[in-house]
Structure 1
Amino acid sequence: MSKTRIVILGAGYGGMITSKRLGKLLKAGEADVTLINKHDYHYLTTELHKTAAGTEPDSKIALPITQFIDQEKVTFKKGTVSSIDYSGNKVLLEGGEKVNYDYLVVSLGFHVSTFGIPGIKEHAFEVRSFRSSKTIYHHIQRQFALYKEDEDPSRLTFVVAGAGFTGVEVVGELVVKLPELAEEYNIPFDKVRIVNVEAAPTILPGSADAAVDYASRILDKRGVEVKTSTKVLECKEDNIITDNGDLPSRTLIWTCGVQGHHLFEGTGIETVQGRAVVDEYLRIPTLKNVFCIGDNSYFKTGEKTPLPPTAQVALQQAPVCGDNIVGTIRGTELRKFEYHHKGSVASLSEHYGVGEVGGALLKGKIAAAMKKVIGYRYLFFLGGPSLMLKHFFGGGTSLAKVAAKQQG
């Protein structure tokens, strides 16, 4: 009798932790597990703002997948998913290869939502992946170099659209890095503008007033031009049009919204904004052998609003997903997923942060330290004490070959 085939799509937070959970729970020879990912590295999504600004080395953001999975129980396959045949239980990869499954986990991450705004897709930059974030930093460096040739002020105006957690974190890192680049290229820093545009009336929409006030004061103190109640109407190559005036700029970093994956389109699966609706066991209701977690899933508790597409949600869903796959195989009782919000913290640079943990407001150095603790906690789950200590002492994980592939 052939072994049960489990296929996991995506090596983000959800996919990696599900893989590790299955590696721990499955008995030798009980199932074949295949983890499929576009790249051979796992990147820390919650740290991509540092990659975008160039404030953290690649080796601390992108980590080789095979170092963190039990390769006796989990096989890694590098490939890009082009479609899924849900009725035939097959995943089709680019190039024509087909991978059969008995149980499938869809955890492919988000797509950026442009809301149909002209020029965003063509001219804006996305904090979406390691490669897209790395592209931002290369572009910023190039703008400093070109300014030395033509002194076009639009080259040194850096605009971040969106002042949620990701947008504010990108701004915080730019505040640190851009003065260094100005000094490197011998350009007076007063020539540089950092602008944060937000459609809502305040930055960090939905956060406590005290958190908003603190973050606003820090950004203002550090020279950031914050433009709230301002919508981007169009993005051109050298100009950003808003309903509050034009911003001559060649750099728009877009952090305004995400949506689910296109693989659910036209399949008959119920979706909301591209995210597949899942049941209490994290399964797609009409497909009891297909689980969906992280950014790809739409999970509601009672009449409450759906859970947001965050790392915290994915990290809580992944162990339950792994348990339920094993429970289904063995015919044991499944676990209902229950989400427990533990708080959120945004970094405003190495030494500043703001957020709420356990109902308590954190700000300043304490919040910045808590942000690091949260990151170290995940690294501990992923790779144990050795990985956590490498990052704590600044060593990271060597990825010279991987990093070399990501240029541009």
Structure 2
Amino acid sequence: MTAHGTPGEQLPVDPVEGAGKVAEPVPVRRRPTSSRGWAIDTSPLHNPGYRRLFWGVAATMLGQQMTLVAVPFQVYDLTGSSLLVGVTSIVALVPLVVFGLLGGAIADAMDRRRLMLVTGAGSAVTSALLAVQALLPGGGNIWLLWVLVAAVSGFTAVNQPTRSAVIPALVGTAGVPAANALAMTVRQVGVIAGPLLAGVLISLGDLFLAYAVDALGFLVAVLLLRGLPPLPPAGRTGPLRLGAAVRGVGEGFTFLRTQPVLLMTFVVDVIAMLFAWPQAVFPELSETRFEGSPNGLGWLFAGVSVGALLMGLTSGWVSRVDRQGAVVLAAIVVWGIAIIGFGLASTLWLAVLCLAVAGAGDMVSAVLRSSMLQTAAPDDMRGRMQGVFLVVVAGGPRLGDLRAGAIASAAGVSVAMVSGGIVVVVAMVVVALVVPSFLHFRASRTAG
């Protein structure tokens, strides 16, 4: 299946002649279910608008992952302090939370194409400044580095919910699951390849190039997004003010309290990440249980992403799931059981296999939860829902690291992982019983 459209295909609205017109979704042409039914569904790439969005995501993911490796390396190189490396994570997290929520409200109050262009350009400039500061005498400046890290995190926090919110407008409701699977799969490619390439450049002493690749990726994304038509949210838009954005965040949470299905998409993910995120115990396992295995730490860090990538490449069936709520719960149960196996694994290969299974389950859950948010929420709330989604996705693993590290220090890695996995499995059964509307949620009931 090619990623290119058919001859004669055009954008929904010409970006020059159609200025001021609103994009209409181009129906996604579905392939027969009997043909390559397990392969990833690439039909959304026939849509010219989504194709620009997809390649924009692809262009930025490699550089973003390289920056995620380069920043902590540079902080440690400048300070020699692991504590300050941890502080850097908080420096990035705070604007991610604040602007993730505000950004969702902003995305529901102005043309989303314009917002993606502004934040993409801001990210490109900030990443370029990161590259420049790496050339300063002494290898950089920690305070300047923190300011730039906070800035790029803030731009990303606004850009990412906006990109997610426009997907239904580009591909229509039926194309949303497949479009999400494509975007999340290409992200996993970046998660795996980015750190490897960053490691090569860092070993060569070239932090400048690692940051420059990030800046170039954002620039390419901006150029691609310029070809999209205007994408205003449904409803009335007006001049954007900070007070209105803050009120918009409150309106989003008020709306969420009245929507148990949408609320539970966040709750189940928080449970999965809080009680079973394994990353904090990787260093201890690599030095103790798997000390005889070369590059054990690298394999542990890659395990979840490898599983997610393989699931993404075989996710054709996911885009056809109707009972999305039930499958989300089942996928998180798989995650919990796999983490139990990881906690008990006595060999590296078995631990990595369990992590890969967990990553596959998480991929299915993430695709379907995002699709539920994008289709069940009204268009004028999609930005805010995606903002909350970003905060949950960013914050959950960090809280999970804290829980896992604390229990592993007190009672051992196996106790930390096995107990967490059991809690996740039991919690999903409780959710199914207590919130039957989530269990019985069907995509076909939201299709318009």
User: Would you say same fold, with TM above 0.5?
Assistant: no
TM-score, normalised via structure 1 length: 0.24
TM-score, normalised via structure 2 length: 0.22
Higher-helix-fraction structure: 2
Higher-strand-fraction structure: 1
